[in-house]
Structure 1
Amino acid sequence: MEIHINGIVRATYAFLSNVRVAFRHMDKEMFRNIYVTYMRPKLGYAAPFWNPHFKKHSRSG
């Protein structure tokens, strides 16, 4: 599962990189709209379902 989560984060960073290239002069409101519309749903999808039951999946373990 950790590989899957890392893949989602990596894809989201790649999307952010493409957005920064496409919109070189982006104000806070534009970034917020792009983040809320495209990036946050990818990062938050099934987040309540994923719960680190094992120490190896938690940051403290």
Structure 2
Amino acid sequence: MVAFLNLLFNCWGPKSLSRIASVLRTPICDADCTTKLKRISYARVLIEINVIIPLPKSK
């Protein structure tokens, strides 16, 4: 589960979260509290990550 802090509300839709999470690897699903906007301090997405392959480096 990855938490995205300080994410703008227009990025909280399923398509937007999926595109953002796909930068890391394969998004599986959004957290229930994220889709129902119960906790608005951060958005959470479950991401499948192969631990053998290095993560992309930030620019």
Could you state the TM-score of these two structures normalised by the residue count of structure 1?
A: 0.31
- Return the index of the structure with the highest Cα Rg: 1
Could you state the TM-score of these two structures normalised by the residue count of structure 2?
A: 0.32
The structure in which a higher percent of residues are helix is 1
